[in-house]
């Protein structure tokens, strides 16, 4: 009797994972992307990027599946994609939107309050001009403008060197306000009680309910803010970072499948291996 094949559902980070850390190219991942498209496997972008940025990558990657913006701040579902949703969504243009985060202006206000209290200088996206973001991240002006238009997540950095002990104290202060601090590939991120993992679990339940099938869920990332997503899937995959190492904090906290390559090269190999195994 033939072994029954299970369908897979892939959640992926972008920067440093599917996209090269420096060039933002996904050229090295094209073989796996083609295989995913050929087999009609849902590929869900789950990133700290904004709605506008993710829409551009949806277009470049030629995918029309739901996506998760700003570290789980919201789930954007194309109208007509699902018949049943977990909660009452907001209607925004061509999407049904499930908001999990808190408003950006509240994050900005609290970031400034806490930085003053601890006497540390921080610079967030709210402090930067579009051309400064473009320069910092090597982005075209149009993409930098989309990156600055934030709704649920404030990326920031400390101007001066700060010790881990003080970062821990600042993190605890944010927690007292119901906020979370996480670290991405380049910046720290301040957000509400949302994270990639909560959004992934919610979206997976909707897939199972609407598609009436079980899925093997795959999550693939490279840095600490991907940890909640990796914990929320059946198969967590970690790609090498730009210096060819794996994120040590993730390795301490979770047993993962290690991709052999850096960024999109590792992504390509890991996804092709999984597709061959399950499809």
Active site residue 13: yes
Task: End-to-end CA distance of the chain: give it in Å, rounded.
Answer: 17
Q: CB of 43 within 8 A of CB of 219? A: no
CATH: 3.40.190.10, 3.30.980.20, 3.40.50.300, 3.40.630.10. Which one for 104-191?
3.30.980.20
Looking at the chain, which residues constitute the CATH 3.40.50.1000 domain(s)? 7-101+195-278
pLDDT of residue 64: 95
Q: Is 222 exposed, middle or buried (0-12, 13-18, 19+ CB in 10 A)?
A: buried
pLDDT in tens, 38-68: 999 999 999 999 999 999 999 999 999 999 9
pLDDT of residue 87: 86
Taking all residues of the chain, what is their mean pLDDT, rounded to a whole number?
Answer: 94
CA distances from 173 to 112, 117, 145 (A): 12, 10, 31
Cα–Cα nearest to 124, from 78, 80, 158? 158
pLDDT in tens, 68-96: 999 999 999 999 999 999 888 999 999 99
Looking at the chain, which residues constitute the CATH 3.30.980.20 domain(s)? 104-191
Q: Which of 13, 20, 153, 222 is catalytic?
A: 13
pLDDT in tens, 170-191: 999 999 999 999 887 778 999 9
CATH: 3.40.50.1000, 3.30.420.40, 3.10.450.30, 3.40.50.1820. Which one for 7-101+195-278?
3.40.50.1000
Q: Is 35 exposed, middle or buried (0-12, 13-18, 19+ CB in 10 A)?
A: middle
pLDDT of residue 214: 85
- Does the pLDDT value for residue 252 go beyond 90? yes
Q: Give the span between the Cα atoms of 235 and 73, in whole angstroms.
A: 23
């Amino acid at each position: 009797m033939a072994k029954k094949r299970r369908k897979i559902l892939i959640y992926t980070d972008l920067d440093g994972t599917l996209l090269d850390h420096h060039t933002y190219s996904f050229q090295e991942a094209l073989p796996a992307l083609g295989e995913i498209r050929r087999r009609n496997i849902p590929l869900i972008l789950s990133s700290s990027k904004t709605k506008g940025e993710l829409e551009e990558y949806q277009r470049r990657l030629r995918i029309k599946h739901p996506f998760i913006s700003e570290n789980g701040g919201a789930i954007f579902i194309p109208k007509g994609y699902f018949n049943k949703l977990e909660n009452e969504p907001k209607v925004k243009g061509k999407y049904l939107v499930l908001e999990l985060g808190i408003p950006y202006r509240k994050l900005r206000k609290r970031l400034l309050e806490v930085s003053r209290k601890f006497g540390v200088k921080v610079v967030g996206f709210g402090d930067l001009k579009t051309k400064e973001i473009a320069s910092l991240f090597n982005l075209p002006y149009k993409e930098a403008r989309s990156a600055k238009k934030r709704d649920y997540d404030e990326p920031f950095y400390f101007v001066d060197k700060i010790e881990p002990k003080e970062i821990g104290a600042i993190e605890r202060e944010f927690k007292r306000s119901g906020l979370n601090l996480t670290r991405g590939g380049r910046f720290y991120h301040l957000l509400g009680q949302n994270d990639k993992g909560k959004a992934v679990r919610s979206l997976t339940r909707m897939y199972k309910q609407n598609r009436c099938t079980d899925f093997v869920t795959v999550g693939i990332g490279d840095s600490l803010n991907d940890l909640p997503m990796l914990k929320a899937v059946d198969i967590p995959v970690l790609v090498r970072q730009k210096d060819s190492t794996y994120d040590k904090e993730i390795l301490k906290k979770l047993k993962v499948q290690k991709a052999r390559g850096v960024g999109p090269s590792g992504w390509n190999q890991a996804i092709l291996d999984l597709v061959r195994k399950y499809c």
